[in-house]
Structure formats: structure tokens, C-alpha cells
Structure 1
């Protein structure tokens, strides 16, 4: 089964390929496809709203099974009006580079005593065909809480700028040192469960003989 992942982020594509390796899917990113000239609107106030907008946009273009994900970033102890939420990369009307993101969020950690608890809240929208759509935003695809710190390690992978200031609570290891493995295991199990259930429901729908609109 060919499945389009609505992202141009190579790092996220490779991570998702690893997560879904045991499923019978051929995962394709946007860089492997022609016909994507504009970016979808991401004006939602929640990760699920943005994931839905992106999946709908790419489905209209390709008319093939496609999914999109979106994240919100939340920092414990930060006032509600300062929470990055779905605007983690956009601050003060500017889209931050990886380096600027690291500097900005390490500065927040410094304000909060050098380290603070943080978490990602993730959402996914999968459109299989004109009838079958599946959405999810459960905690099991978020990866759990971790420490955001003010001392950065060297960044290793483009597209994951906060990994060099994110620290696993149990091991004390930075994510760039492999500290995110426990978070990844949780995300992987949650995403695998989501895709298995969606694919099973789609297959049952097709076998029941219900035609697509």
C-alpha cells in the first residue's frame, strides 16, 4: 500500500518510516512527488485542526491515501499567553530558524530556573479515500514529559532544533544523545495502533461493498 506523508521534513519522514516499518506500507514524502507548489494553510488553534487542514490539502492534490501530523509545544510554568502551542517556530511574527529556536527556548528554560518540564501534544489526520478518514490526538503519540534546559548540546539533525535542549527525565540524557528513545517507543506504539485500526476499518469497509462517494 502506498501512503503519502504530508511533510517535506526529511528527518520526520525517516522517523515515521522507522515507526511504521512493520506495516505493509510504502511511505512517500512530499519531496518525492510533483505537484506541490504551495503550502497548506495552518491557521488552526490546535494540532488536530492543523493536521486536518494539511491532510485535506494534500488529498485534494493527489487523491491518494495521505496523512499529516502536527504538534503543539507546552512548557510547564509558562503563562498561558506565552505558551508556544502550535506556533512553536513562529515568535513575534517571525519564523525562527533551528538556531533561533534553540536560543529562544533555552532562554525560556533559563527564566524558569535552568530547566522546566515540557511536552509535545501531537495529532494526526489520515484520509484513506473520500469516505474513510481517521483522526487522533491521544497522549500516547505525544511521548510524555521531558526537561527543557538552558544548556545546549551540539545539534545533530536538521528539523529537530529542540532535541539539543531536551533531556529525558529518567536517564538525564539529552535527546541528541539518545535520551528520546523512551519517548520514541511510546510514540511508535501509539502510532502503530492508530494505523492498524484505521487500515483494518478501511479494509472492512471495502469488503462490505460500500462504494466511495
Structure 2
């Protein structure tokens, strides 16, 4: 089945293709840029990741009339005061949309203000639309990312679309995410809950 992943982020698209490759799911994942069609603007005005995922999926389904899924995330740090929590606006700081490099610098500087670093976790949501009468969405805890530690000293490696990874440490080993084995790195980025979500829909 050909399915549209509602994103223009090539890094996320490549990651999703890689993560699903060994899942035994018969899915061909394409991204918005692969369509070579105008891409509608999406008003991500939801109050949480689930609402934003639904807004995006419905917008793209109405535009392209093909199976589509959209994801959204909120980033939350333990012990960080509410006004500083990124939440669903990870890229938007003081009204400005940050580039990848600006994000790495901003969150690295934020971590430097805390002696033991910051412990964070992504709250993830997904909405999958197969047809007009088949819409499934979830923000189950099984979709949430692993807790990780933010550091002020960035790793030299960069992957476009993942600007917080260079300053992310695995809590168990205190290693940079990029210094983990391929399997460990994949597991740190996409929870098994996403695979289970796709299977529950496609096996019905």
C-alpha cells in the first residue's frame, strides 16, 4: 500500500522508511515533496500533539485523497518552569521559527543553565486516514520517546531535521545518541508503539 507521510522533513521521512523496513508491513512511504504538487499551509493550532496530528492528516487527505498519516510531537523537560517548556512549539522561541543550527544552540544553552543537564521526553501522536470513514488517531504512552539527557556540548555529527539529537545523551549509558549502535539509536528515536499502531490498522 502506498501511504503519504504528511511531512516535508526529509530526515523524518528517511527515518520512518528505515524504521518500518524490517516491520513486515506492506507499506510504501512517500513524503509531501514526492508528490510534486502544491502543498497546503496547515494551521497547527492544536493544544497538544494529537490535535495537531489530526489537523495535518485531515488537511493532506482532503488535498490529495490518498491514505495519509501525520505525526506531531511535544517536548517536555523535567523540572523546567512552564513558560520555558517547548511543548508543541519546539522550533518556535520568542515568536521566531528557529533553524536546525539555531535550535541546537538554543537548547544547548538552556541545558548549560542546569548543573546536571535536563531530562526530557517527547510526547508523540499520530493520525492515520485510510478513507473517509476510516480515521484512527492515538497519543498513547507507548508512542512516547525514551527519556534522554540534554547536554550543552554538541556532538559534531548533524542530520538535517533532527537538531536536538547532537545534544542528546542516552540516560543508561550517558553516551551521545549518535555514538550508540545502529539498533540502540533506532530504538531511542522511534518507540515500538508506532509499529504496533500501524499493524493494528492494517491487520483489521
Say yes or no: TM over 0.5: yes
Would the alpha carbon gap of residues 180 and 162 (structure 1) be closer, same or farther in structure 2, given more than 3 Å must change? farther
> Which sections of structure 2, spanning at least 5 residues, go unmatched?
none
TM-score (norm 2): 0.92
Contact residue 4 and residue 30 of structure 1 kept, 8 A: yes
**Structure 1 residue 180 displacement after superposition:** 8.2
- Encode CA deviations 1:121-152: one digit per residue, 9 max, x unaligned: 11000000000111111222222201011111
Secondary structure at 2:126's aligned position in 1? strand
Q: Which residue of 2 aligns with 1:117?
A: 119
Count how many residue pairs are aligned between Structure 1 and Structure 2: 201
Contact residue 6 and residue 67 of structure 1 kept, 8 A: yes
Secondary structure at 2:186's aligned position in 1? helix
Mapping of 1:197-208 within 5 angstroms? 197-201=200-204
Q: Which residue of 2 aligns with 1:77?
A: 79
- For the residues of structure 2 that align with 1:157 and 1:151, how far apart are their CA atoms? 16
Q: 1:36 aligns with which of 27, 35, 38?
A: 38
Would the alpha carbon gap of residues 40 and 50 (structure 1) be closer, same or farther in structure 2, given more than 3 Å must change? same
Q: 2:192 aligns with which of 189, 194, 198?
A: 189
- For the residues of structure 1 that align with 2:173 and 2:128, how far apart are their CA atoms? 34
Contact residue 143 and residue 183 of structure 1 kept, 8 A: no
Q: Which residue of 2 aligns with 1:211?
A: none
Q: Which residue of 2 aligns with 1:126?
A: 128
Would the alpha carbon gap of residues 136 and 179 (structure 1) be closer, same or farther in structure 2, given more than 3 Å must change? farther
Secondary structure at 2:150's aligned position in 1? strand
Secondary structure at 2:66's aligned position in 1? coil
- For the residues of structure 1 that align with 2:185 and 2:201, how far apart are their CA atoms? 23
Larger radius of gyration: 1
Q: Which residue of 2 aligns with 1:57?
A: 59
- For the residues of structure 2 that align with 1:109 and 1:156, how far apart are their CA atoms? 18
Q: Which residue of 1 aligns with 2:88?
A: 86
- Encode CA deviations 1:140-171: one digit per residue, 9 max, x unaligned: 22222010111111132111011010000112
TM-score (norm 1): 0.89
- Encode CA deviations 1:15-69: one digit per residue, 9 max, x unaligned: 1112222211111111110333332111111011111110000000111110000
The CA RMSD over aligned residues, in Å, is 1.6
Secondary structure at 2:127's aligned position in 1? strand
> Which sections of structure 1, spanning at least 5 residues, go unmatched?
202-213
Identify which range, 124-133 or 140-149, moves more after superposition: 140-149
Secondary structure at 2:43's aligned position in 1? coil
